[in-house]
Amino acid sequence: MGKSLTQKILEDHLIVGKYESGNEIGIKIDQTLTHDATGTMAYLQLEAMGGDRVKTEHSVNFIDHNTLQIGFENADDHRYLQTITAKYGVDLSRAGNGICHQVHLERFGIPGTTLLGADSHSPSGGGIGQIAIGAGGLDVALAMAGEPFYLICPDVVKINLKGKLKPWVSAKDVVLKVLEIFSTRGNVACIFEYGGPGVSALSVPERATITNMGAECGVTTSIFPSDYQTRKFLIAQGREQDWVELNADSSAEYQKVMNLDISEIEPMIATPHSPDNVKKVKDMTGLVVDQVCIGSCTNSSFRDLMIVAEILKGKAVHPKVSCVLAPGSRQVLSMIAINGALAKLIKAGVRLQESTCGFCIGNGQSPASAAVSLRTSNRNYKGRSGTLNAQIYLVSPETAAAAVITGKITDPRDLGIKFPTIRLPKKFFIDDSMIIKPPKDRSSVRVVIGPNIGEIIKNEQMPEELKATVAIKVGDKITTDHIIPGGARMKYRSNIPEYSKYLFETIDPNFYERAKKTKEENHSNVIVGGISYGQGSSREHAALCPMFMGVKAVIAKSFERIHADNLINFGILPLTFNNESDYDKVGQGDQLEIHDIKNLIMKGEFLKVKDVTKGFEFEVTYKLSERQKMIVLAGGTLNLVTGK
């Protein structure tokens, strides 16, 4: 039997375990990616582990999230990151050089290698034929220290593309169609592997758009083959030596095969407040638009911005629309400046933002109250934009540009203009001067730590008997943005006691005081959740801050991969209702007890939870490897690694 591309790369990097679907395996990590929203904690954790340099082949930290420096906190963190990366032998991409996923794809991604990124959209690297996985910062710190990355050996789903995209339809529409089919849940421990004749016409940036938003399906990653298109991209980046041809065997077998004729796809749109609430654009036409945001790591390549520039050429931004553009990298910004496309955009009335995550994470460009905002980014969770009641829609660059002109949602096919033909240059603009290489002699590097950067906080060991209060009960599809907000609050990401004050603030602003009171009474807290708890961002603060507030367990109907791993890493038990109807019986404020918890977990037996308040018992299950059992009972990974 032949092998899938996924199997070939994972087996080539296998360190622990056997490649069998459902097994826990440990793989060697070649490259890591961190940024200023996740990097500070990751490097503090790396320091706590000891050692004097990273052990990966290539590690890069990007300053791309918190570049709106209101107050000293972000600037202090950036100074810390510049010094700590120099100390440990890590490249640093300076603020303004671009968004991590776009820049890494352009300058560092290598087909056939593994990348572990402290960001959920790290699967962008799958567009270049790389196994690129998003994870919490602590897992990335472990990888930088030379430890394997552990994951469930995946079910590989083949998405067989055929046909060719029609004019006015782009890669964003393809991945929105995939989201419509697979949804944002139920895909844990899966990898999407793209193949078929329809792949050949998709450029690497187009493929990266698809693998980037595959993260919204909850898969471990997505990957395309490394072929002629990959080689052409790497030649344009001056990196032909990094190319290798990689394909699945023709006889490879998959757990599931889905055929998708991309010639039948129409312009698509994700409606509020989830990326899988997908409809056809033509079914939403006429809705008045207040704001259009173009860019982010999903759709800010040279091709994407050139399409927008050509559509807006000689036209003007609608008087009632605010339009902002965030190029994905300095490379892209330089190229559209050199060829005149940027001038067309500015002349049309488009506002220019830095090459940063910006509006995607709620750092700037928050819409007006109840405004309709069309965005080419990847998430439209409620409140993520910085405006709680804003209505965020996800669209392609073509559909975004159409709304810029008309002031309403418009099928771009109805603009009545010829579809622009964009030819990618044979050579891209290359200037790596804003990537700071570590010094050859790192012995004299002094790490600068600002007052907002706190110490590493560790958990206590799991008690023999767990007695806890349900601090909050939440519903289905709770994202890490719901748990701990991004945007302006992210400047506290290095200060866990301060950041913890904003836990669940968009759902229940009283959570912090309630959990604090329970903690001060030397009593533990528990969170109760619904289906697909922990969607979205990889930010480990959504586990780290609850741990600081005395949370010992989260009981939910189901979990998403990265968040469940983060909970375990910080000594919090991810427990699943054995009978989902028990979710309805448990209430906020209920007193829960689990007896003999440590012994039962080591034996792998069901846990019985007693609701003392309501006088009933219910069973919960858990999926923990022997390694994970040791971690969670010890109170977290750092306790094991540092021997404390």
Tell me the two tokens of residue 172: 């964003």
Report the pLDDT value the prediction gives residue 571, as an integer from 0 to 100: 96
pLDDT single digits (tens) 182-227: 999 888 999 999 999 999 999 999 999 999 999 999 999 999 999 9
Asked whether the beta carbons of 353 and 326 are under 8 A apart, the reply is yes
Sheet holding 190-195, edge to edge: 221-223, 190-195, 155-162, 256-261
* Domain topology for 5-264: Aconitase; domain 3 (3.30.499)
* Domain topology for 466-642: Aconitase; domain 4 (3.20.19)
Q: How far apart are CA 26 and CA 146, in angstroms?
A: 12
Q: Is the pLDDT of residue 456 over 90?
A: no
CATH class of the region 268-410? alpha beta
Q: Is the pLDDT of residue 565 over 90?
A: yes
Percent over 90 (pLDDT), the chain: 89
Q: Is the pLDDT of residue 276 over 80?
A: yes
Residue 537: band (very low, low, confident or very high) from pLDDT cuts 50, 70, 90: confident
pLDDT single digits (tens) 20-35: 999 999 999 999 999 9
Closest Cα to residue 29, out of 132, 104, 156? 132
Specify the higher pLDDT residue, 8 or 488.
Answer: 8
Closest Cα to residue 298, out of 401, 176, 455, 419? 176
- CA distances (Å), origin 200, targets 105, 163, 164, 197, 299: 19, 10, 9, 6, 20
Q: How far apart are CA 29 and CA 33, in angstroms?
A: 11
Report the pLDDT value the prediction gives residue 490, as an integer from 0 to 100: 85
Q: Is the pLDDT of residue 644 over 80?
A: no
- What interhelical angle do 341-348 and 302-312 show, nearest 10? 50
Report the pLDDT value the prediction gives residue 198, as an integer from 0 to 100: 96
Q: If residue 620 lies in a helix (H) or strand (E), which one and from where to where?
A: strand 616-621
Q: How far apart are CA 481 and CA 275, in angstroms?
A: 14
Longest dimension (CA), the chain: 72
Q: What angle do CA 177, 182, 184 make, to 5 degrees?
A: 100
Give all strands (DSSP E) within 21-154, no chain letters: 24-27, 31-35, 58-62, 91-93, 114-117, 131-134, 149-152
pTM of the model: 0.95
Q: How far apart are CA 520 and CA 506, in angstroms?
A: 24
Asked whether the beta carbons of 560 and 532 are under 8 A apart, the reply is yes
Average pLDDT score over the chain: 95
Judged by DSSP in three states, 171 sits in helix
The neighbour count for residue 443, using CB atoms within 10 Å, is 7
Closest Cα to residue 192, out of 201, 181, 200, 203? 181
Tell me the two tokens of residue 563: 């968040």
Asked whether the beta carbons of 89 and 54 are under 8 A apart, the reply is yes
Q: Is the pLDDT of residue 107 over 70?
A: yes
Q: Is it true that 5-264 and 466-642 share their CATH fold?
A: no
Q: What angle do CA 153, 461, 572 make, to 5 degrees?
A: 45
Tell me the two tokens of residue 210: 């698809």
Please list the residues that pair with 564 across neighbouring strands. Answer: none
Q: Is the pLDDT of residue 486 over 90?
A: no
Q: Is the pLDDT of residue 511 over 90?
A: yes
Residue 179: band (very low, low, confident or very high) from pLDDT cuts 50, 70, 90: very high
Report the pLDDT value the prediction gives residue 252, as an integer from 0 to 100: 96
pLDDT single digits (tens) 542-564: 999 999 999 999 999 999 999 99
Judged by DSSP in three states, 355 sits in coil
What residues does each domain of the chain span?
5-264, 268-410, 466-642
Closest Cα to residue 388, out of 293, 272, 237, 527? 272
SS3 percent helix, strand, coil of the chain, rounded to 5, is: 35, 20, 45
Judged by DSSP in three states, 434 sits in coil
